[in-house]
Structure 1
């Protein structure tokens, strides 16, 4: 049976994440939702009757107020305020946003995301996606709890079970298996080749030694995008332009050589929608268009509310003249899988 306080708390967290609220503030609502969801039925009924929500570990005054209001059949004040304040994200990106059928770069709490796979994917389905790829990190990225081969196999089993459940429930979205695989110093990929071959989507990204010289970085990236397993080159410059992690300059590489390799080997260039990345910058995006690259507009979401960030990337695509017919996640599922398999 659906517990309205759980639904309300998670929606509050969604809107806060969408609006780029501080993580600790959002997590207070997600933790409270988990506490309420895990209560046995008799304890839940008692708490609804007594209203002593703050006696539960992990629930504070603000979350208790939202719980009590939802349990009484009301829309919590906090939720009503967030709904009322919500505005379209970068509406100038609408011409492309309406064409996108899914998201090909997302993370769950199996690596460095903040929410379970199911919550991420149900949110993606609610946003109208036809497909969504789960691309948790590979093992070398220990700071992001990257997945070993064994953990990745277990995650693939979980995705299969969830896809089966969605099908039984009539949820039409397909969860795509995937990975954000680290590009190693020599251009190799940080996961077993046989496992990569099983996946629907492979995003390859540089996360280490970002200050290497241009010749080294160019060679490293070209080797990676030429690998038949790789479908998308993720956040190619590695830059950060704002946010809690501070700023970081672009990696140096020969963009003409790298983008020509992407064109030749059929690897899409990611337009990363995270506000702190905005990667690639406009001049490189226009260069990739001129060379004839494919593109993928992705959120790189680490939380459910961030799945609604596609419009940030779409606005940059519109502003820089990206042809919609070159964006792989405008393709229907069958066309997308043809692209990634071929």
Structure 2
């Protein structure tokens, strides 16, 4: 029986991986990634993706060389030039924007309005009380510019590497946060990094039961890490999440219609 279950899980994982048309969270050497934008884009193309979102960090995260408004504008020009060369493949303009303690977003609103994909993530004061953290997250989710809630618990499950020591989950009222995601049409990220695997499966199941959408993302900082999405697919399969609830299984036109809505 166990072998049959494992085979079914492997098959569903493979189906989800084959259904993915892109990746909505990854980094280049403009921020804390290790490779140029074009190298990352071509690695995504080699995996069979139709699109790939470039989501370097926002300015508050100085340790990750977050992009000032001026640097982000220059990056947008570079992406536009690359898209002319790489068409029909599409690099989606994006950002992993830091959520400030008051729930505001760490980038100029006019620039966020120009982006294809906005991933919002908490990177500071991760140990604030549950009530304050819930308010902070819900405020960010309610911002119409936000498309994806990134690595929602902030946990680190493997020590070592650039992430350092293990880190416990932030405390927040998950039902309130996921209801905000459902209500405001924000996808809950299934972060595929082996050192994150965030959120934990109990919260994935809760978000699914509450009717949320999802994005299976690599959070890659190097070309070889883009294939980490398979870990997210395995976790989604374990939680019974269907492909159509995962926004990056959608064709580009449908995805962009959703992010712009």
TM-score, normalised to structure 2, is 0.94
In the TM superposition, residue 91 of structure 1 has moved relative to its aligned partner by 4.6
Greater share of residues in helix = 1
Which residue in the other structure is 2:69 paired with?
Answer: 149
- 1:96 and 2:16 correspond: yes
1:9-48 equivalent positions in 2, closer than 5 A: none
CA distance in 2, matches of 1:136, 1:195: 14
Which residue in the other structure is 2:106 paired with?
Answer: 190
Rg larger for = 1
Which residue in the other structure is 1:205 paired with?
Answer: 121
2:32 aligned to which of 109, 112, 116: 112
Q: Please, what is the CA RMSD of the aligned residues?
A: 0.9
Once the two structures are superposed, residues 137-191 of structure 1 have per-residue CA deviations (whole angstroms, 9 ceiling, x without a partner) of 0000000000000000000000001001113xxxx31100000000000000000
1:54-65 equivalent positions in 2, closer than 5 A: none
Secondary structure in structure 2 of the residue aligned to 1:98: helix
CA distance in 2, matches of 1:321, 1:243: 29
Secondary structure in structure 1 of the residue aligned to 2:20: coil
In the TM superposition, residue 323 of structure 1 has moved relative to its aligned partner by 2.0
**Runs ≥4 residues deviating over 4 A:** none
CA distance in 1, matches of 2:48, 2:165: 33
Structure 2 gap segments, 5+ residues each: 1-8
Which residue in the other structure is 1:236 paired with?
Answer: 152
Secondary structure in structure 2 of the residue aligned to 1:198: coil
CA distance in 2, matches of 1:243, 1:158: 35
TM-score, normalised to structure 1, is 0.72
- 1:297 and 2:216 correspond: yes
2:96 aligned to which of 169, 174, 180: 180
CA distance in 2, matches of 1:283, 1:269: 13
Question: In the alignment, is the contact (CA less than 8 A) between 1:178 and 1:202 conserved in 2?
Answer: yes
Once the two structures are superposed, residues 61-92 of structure 1 have per-residue CA deviations (whole angstroms, 9 ceiling, x without a partner) of xxxxxxxxxxxxxxxxxxxxxxxxxxxxx955
- 1:161 and 2:81 correspond: yes
- 1:308 and 2:227 correspond: yes
| Larger RCO, structures 1/2 (Cα 8 Å, 6+ apart) | 2
Structure 1 gap segments, 5+ residues each: 1-89
Question: In the alignment, is the contact (CA less than 8 A) between 1:91 and 1:311 conserved in 2?
Answer: no
Once the two structures are superposed, residues 77-122 of structure 1 have per-residue CA deviations (whole angstroms, 9 ceiling, x without a partner) of xxxxxxxxxxxxx955212111110000010000000000010001
Secondary structure in structure 1 of the residue aligned to 2:126: coil
In the TM superposition, residue 322 of structure 1 has moved relative to its aligned partner by 1.1
CA distance in 2, matches of 1:313, 1:198: 28
Secondary structure in structure 2 of the residue aligned to 1:114: coil
